[in-house]
Amino acid sequence: METNKEVYAAVIRLLEERGPSFTTAELTQQLHISKRTLYKIFKTKADIIEATIAFFFHNLFESWQVADSDKKLSSSRLLEIQLKNMNQSYDLDRLLQHSQKFEKMYPEQWKKLQMYVDKFGELTLNFLVDNQNVRILTSSEKKVLLLTIQLTVRRFLDGEYLKAEGMNFKEALQNFYHLILRGILY
């Protein structure tokens, strides 16, 4: 194997298909390696999942970097670009359909996933308030906005909730951000 990226991509595919119930035998079969080789890289299946979460969010954070030339665009347009650029090689909704099982089977990794979601909220807040087309927010407004973003995105992680509401993750996130940017007033 050239890099761990192959492992992460295979884990994500298995998570999409089977949720956290996939076996390391299935993973090694997809990677065409032995279990021994896999366990030289990662000590446990939980370590594999944790590293995959870190990989996934690292890529997400990288994709949300805004070029200086784009900072002059409206927040709405920037948001549209950022959501379009979100990594499309993973089916977030297929991953999220297993979220409740994942939370039960891997509570420590679930907590770390939520920490990454909170960091994503901070990145989003900075993305929104650093734009010249957004008014300057007070410290309290920033705290409330950050909390709102973090709690809402955490709720969106519950695939059953989104399914019951007839939404997908990207659509829910896009609508949420549009509400923040445009408000509900005429």
Q: Whole-prediction pTM value?
A: 0.81
Query: Sign of dihedral through CA atoms 157, 118, 116, 106?
Result: negative
pLDDT tens-place string over residues 50-101 = 999 999 888 878 777 766 666 677 767 777 777 776 656 567 777 788 888 9
What pLDDT score was predicted for residue 5?
A: 86
pLDDT average, residue stretch 147-156: 92
100-107 contacts: CB < 8 A, separation 24 or more?
100/158, 100/159, 100/160, 101/19, 101/20, 101/21, 102/15, 102/19, 102/20, 105/20, 105/21, 106/20, 106/46, 106/49
Rounded Cα–Cα distance for residues 118 and 114 (Å): 6
pLDDT tens-place string over residues 102-129 = 999 999 999 998 999 899 888 888 877 7
What pLDDT score was predicted for residue 71?
A: 65
pLDDT tens-place string over residues 19-41 = 999 999 999 999 999 999 999 99
What pLDDT score was predicted for residue 121?
A: 86
pLDDT average, residue stretch 130-156: 88
**Cβ-contact 74, 132 below 8 angstroms:** no
Backbone angles phi, psi at 98, to 5 degrees: -105, 15
Structure tokens at 186: 């005429």
Query: Predicted confidence band at 1 (pLDDT cuts at 50, 70, 90)?
Result: very low
What pLDDT score was predicted for residue 103?
A: 92
**Domains plus CATH for the chain?**
4-182 (1.10.357.10)
In terms of Cα–Cα distance, which of 19, 27, 17, 18 is closest to 48?
27
Strand, coil or helix: 35 = helix
Structure tokens at 133: 């087309």
